Structure formats: structure tokens, C-alpha cells
Homo-oligomer: A and B are copies of this chain.
Amino acid sequence: MAAEDTSKVSEAYPMNGGDGPNSYAKNSTYQRAVVVVAKELLNKAIVEKLDKDIKLSFNTFHIADLGCSVGPNTFYSVENILEAVQSKYRIQGKNSQIPEFQVFFNDHSRNDFNMLFKSLPQNRGYFAVGVPGSFHGRVFPSASIHIAHSSYAIQWLSRVPEAVVDRDSSAWNKGRIHYSNSTDEVIRAHETQYNKDMECFLHSRAQEIVHGGLMILMIPGRPDGTPHSHSLANITLQFLGLCLKDMARKGVVSEDKVDSFNIPMYTMSPQELKAAIERNGCFSIEIMSDLPHALVSDTISISELLASHLRAGLEGIVKQQFGEEILDELFRLYRKKCEENASIFESETAVNFLVVLRRTAD
């Protein structure tokens, strides 16, 4: 893929499809653990914050999962939301009015929807549909969604900022694959892109979510005040860049390809997100809180976990730039790099945060 192309994609890179050993389906344990710790918070949010007289469409409650990937995490999240809505009806003494549910699984049109559909839970309590398209634009009719949910997805930008892959620009991100350990210009270009994308995201959702409906976001972020370079989510990406540079030095990949490769992922702080929500003006912030750290498993080392987690999420974009043949070696090196730097993962700061927004009346 030519360098120029990387900056032009507005349809981003799908997670690793299928159900093979490196698939997203089998390597999203961490995201799953976050869903589990969030369950209680989510239940409370829905019971307390969802408009109790929310207007239904022919007695059907519409739930959307934005950036759903191929499962199975999306199914756990949806199940949790559905149970919370049902329990809200019960608490209100409206057992007999519990609606039917229709769940809209959304992701890029290049997502593996065939895999998603094949793995839908057999005895699900909802009608399932797949919605192809970028959540940076409109994907649903006006006022048609009661709860929109998105977990570990809105950190993806819609594209790599143009200047970052332009060799003649002062914001050219030479020799790095992420903005977080780069120059101020590169960081600014990403901040600008983030602001644009978040504006589009919130504007679209404001049109799609019914008044009194909720948007629930789980986001891997950086704590307020932490520089981009010190955020743990970013450091894991920087490590991948170092491994690619090592491979370029050995002649396994071309230096040019490393120079033109950028991962369009932005690690936002709660403050930045808050500012974007306020600029949009259509949502009230009902909850914005850190998620407790997820205990994944002690049978797997942190390096192993990070390598499988990163591979599942980034294999698509890496393959497109460097070809399939480098994948095994790259993620082997990556795991080694993590092992060598294990102490960083204890000292640097990470935060996962949960945000619950309510669509206010215009």
C-alpha cells in the first residue's frame, strides 16, 4: 500500500475476523474483563438515568453497539444492557409492559459480519441486525435509538491526519508509528483530528438517539494532565513502533514503510471528552468515572496478554502496510519488548473510563 493511501482512508481497519488463534474473537479477553467490571455501573446508570417514560417505536426498544467487531464481547455488553432495561421496567412495576428488543450491531462495512452473525447467541432475547458504516457519520434514522453503547472503539480516529504522512510538512511523523512519542506538530494534528471526529460522532448520535435516551461509552484513556507520551495505552503502541524500527534496521521491512505508517488511535482524557460534549450541547453528562482495573487472569503474563490483545486489534492495519509475512515475527518481538520493559507497566498511568450521556431535549 502506498504511503499516500494511509492518510486517505476514512473507513478504518477492521479487527481480526474469523475465529482462528489470532482472531479478535479469541484475543479480546482484556476488553471482556472491562465489560464485566462495568456491568454493575451500567445497570445502575440505566435504572437511574434512562428516561422512565421514554418513547418506544411500536413497543420495541432499540439498542445499538457502535464498533461491535465480531463478538463475543458485544454480546455480553448487549445482554447486560437488555437485563438492566428489563429490571428498570420491573422496578417501575411495569412487568407487563416490557418491550421487545432490537439490537443494532454496527461496525465498518469491512468488519467480518458473517462471523458476527454466525456467533450470535442462540437463545438471545432480541432481534439482531448488523449495520455497516462508520460511526463518525450517520448510521441510523433520526431519533431511532434508545441506548447507544460503544466499548473500546471511539479511540479510533476516522483517518490519519494528512500532514502526518506528508514528507514536506513540518508535521511529518518520520520514524514513528504513533503521535504520542512525536513532535508537538504531530500531536496537534492528531488533537485536531480527534476534535473533528468527536464533533461528527456526537453530532450524528445527537440526531439518532431519542430524547431521554442514553449513550454509554467505555474508553481507554489517559488521566487528566498526563502527557500523551506517558499514557500506558500509548506506550504499548510506541513499543510496536520500536519493534518495527528494529525490523527495518535488519532489512526485514523497508524504512519508508515505517515512516509512512501511522496508527490512527487517539488516547483522550476525560477533560478532552467533556469539552467535546459541551461543545456539542445535546447531551448531559450523567456519569463520568474511572473503571476499576480489570483482573484478567493470572495464568497469562502481561506481555502475552498485551501481544495477543494488540495483534487482534491491529493485525489488519499492520498487514495492509507490511504484508502478512511479518506478523508472527513482529508480535514475537513485541512480546519480548514488553517483557524487557515490564516495570513500565507498573509505574505508568492508565485509565479506562465509563461515560454515560443522556440526550437532552433540544
Which residues of chain A have a CB within 8 Å of any CB of chain B?
55, 57-60, 100-102, 104, 109-110, 112-114, 117-118, 120, 127-133, 138-144, 210
Contact = CB atoms under 8 A, between A and B. Distances in A.
Report which residue of A100, A110, A118, A139 has the largest number of chain B beta carbons within 10 angstroms of its beta carbon.
Answer: A100
A131 B130 CA distance: 6
Contacts of A133: 128
A331 B231 CA distance: 61
A58 B209 CA distance: 11
Nearest to A99: B141
A109 B104 contact: no
A195 B127 CA distance: 26
Given A142-B59, A210-B58, A132 B130 contact: yes
A58 B132 contact: no
Contacts of A113: 113-114, 117, 130
Report which residue of A104, A109, A129, A210 has the largest number of chain B beta carbons within 10 angstroms of its beta carbon.
Answer: A129
Given A58-B142, A114-B114, 19 more contacts: A55-B58, A58-B143, A60-B142, A60-B144, A100-B142, A102-B144, A109-B117, A109-B118, A109-B120, A110-B114, A117-B130, A120-B132, A127-B138, A127-B139, A128-B132, A128-B133, A129-B129, A129-B130, A129-B131
Contacts of A118: 109-110
Given A109-B118, A112-B114, A130-B129, A57 B144 contact: yes
A109 to B, nearest CB: 4
Contacts of A129: 104, 129-131
Contacts of A117: 109, 113, 130, 132
Contact of A57 (B58, B101, B110, B132): B58
Contacts of A130: 113, 117, 129-132
A145 to B, nearest CB: 10
Contacts of A143: 58-59
A102 B58 CA distance: 15
Contacts of A120: 109, 132
A57 B59 contact: no
B132 A100 contact: no
A143 B57 CA distance: 10
A106 to B, nearest CB: 9
Report which residue of A101, A118, A138, A142 has the largest number of chain B beta carbons within 10 angstroms of its beta carbon.
Answer: A142
Nearest to A17: B114
